[in-house]
Amino acid sequence: MFIAIFALATVVIVGILVSYMSNWVNDMISTQTQVFFSKQSYWNAYSGVEIAGSKKIAGLEGVLNANVTFATGTITVSKTTTPDEYLGGNKISSITSVGSDVRGRSRSMKLTIGNPSPAEYGLFFDGSTGDFVEIGSINEKMEMQVDDETNAITYVVGGGQADFSISLWLKPDYSAMNDDYGYFFAANNCTDDAGDCNNERGILIGLRSDNNYLRIWHQGGLEKDFETQALSADSWHHIVYTRSAANPGAGVGTMYLNGVLLDTDSPDNSWFKSAAAGESWFLGTNIDAGNTKSENYAGCMDEVAIWRTVLDLSQIQTLYIQGKSFDIATNMATNLVAYWDFDNTSNDGSANGFNSTVAGAIYTGY
């Protein structure tokens, strides 16, 4: 009796194990089958599509019959066409390929044929006094006036508090700077020998060639070095300077580097005078009385933009994170005065038409 019971129990246990193993094997086979068909579908839709699609891209017109059938699925190819401006007729503008397996899983890929993106350029300055960019046409939009009673600084054209921001990208070459400083932005500097020409000067922003820190200079000899972070040579850096006229002389100038606040400075009552008084605007150089250029910047410069407002931190970080390919004219046009992307052109990308004049500096791709 005992032997019979033991034998029956053994048969039951073996049956359970066989059933379990059978189910496990079936699940494993099913899983492997799914993996196989998924891989097959992936190959059909991507590798196969590239093979089938690339053979058809060269065709300008005609019936596109690139459907491919496999044992485990198919590839279906469809197209769109646009007029061919060079050869007449139509040309293929896109190819959409969809691959599916026998289980109904699908993958798709779209190839679009179009013009390549425009090349990215910047300006290269060799550090000589002959390399600079004249942007004086913006003076008509940036000219300011001071109320003698309230000391408030406002814009002559359009009125309003005389706030502003400047944004640009730099890749400095300190070894080619011929002076202790390389100034890349000279706002409302003096170009004649009038006795009071420099009394209410604008601002200079540059780099120290000895320690690679940013420096700013205002009227009356006010200057500040931003010694929080040096700008490494041969690397791109994003710089933003803002100035609010709400409280003149109360530390309302603000400098940012690569999306981070460096420090504030005291611009005092410096303001932008009329071009008729001999004032001018330049990139890449300092301008002294008598139109003498000195302390020139050396390296690359790109994406220069000026606004009649104070950019907030989120806007500044957007400019930095989006990089040099960010279209400022499209995405940050509010209060934009001028925008020079220097993509092989000196034209103003804003709607104001303040084209720059490039002298000596050359366009370079990167």
Q: What is the secondary structure of 216-279 as a DSSP string?
A: EEEGGG-EEEETT----TTS-EEEEEEE--SSTTSS-EEEEETTEEEEEE--TT-----GGGTE
Boundary residue ending a domain (86, 112, 138): 112
- pLDDT of 218: 79
pLDDT of 208-250, one tens digit each? Answer: 999 999 999 876 667 889 999 999 998 999 999 999 988 766 7
pLDDT grade for 57, boundaries at 50, 70 and 90:
very low
Interacting residues of 141 by C-beta distance below 8 A, sequence separation 6+: 155, 157, 308, 337, 338, 352, 354
Note down the domain range covering 89.
45-112
Query: What SS3 state is found at 63?
Result: coil
196 and 320 part of one domain: yes
Are 244 and 358 members of one domain?
yes
User: What separation in angstroms does the CA of 19 have from each of 9, 16, 87?
Assistant: 15, 5, 70
Count: domains in the chain = 2
159 domain-assigned? yes
322 and 233 in a single domain? The answer is yes
pLDDT at 115: 55
Average pLDDT, the chain: 78
Q: Is the predicted pLDDT of residue 297 greater than 60, yes or no?
A: yes
Residue 193 located in a structural domain: yes
Tokens of 231: 């700008």
CB atoms within 10 A of CB 286: 24
Among candidate residues 94, 112, 130, the one where a domain is terminated: 112
84 by Cβ neighbours in 10 Å (0-12 / 13-18 / 19+) ranks as middle
- 141 and 108, same structural domain? no
Residues 324 and 207 in one domain: yes
What is the value of pTM for the model shown? 0.68
Task: Quick: pLDDT tens for 62-111.
Answer: 545 556 666 666 667 667 777 655 455 666 666 676 666 566 666 666 66
Q: Which of 325, 319, 295 is nearest to 307 (CA)?
A: 319
Asked if 53 and 198 sit in the same domain, the reply is no
Q: Which tens digits make up the pLDDT trace of 255-281?
A: 999 999 999 888 776 778 887 777 789
Both tokens of 288, joined, read 């002294």
pLDDT tens for 328-347 read 999 999 999 999 999 999 99
When pLDDT is averaged across residues 289-315 and rounded to a whole number, the result is 92
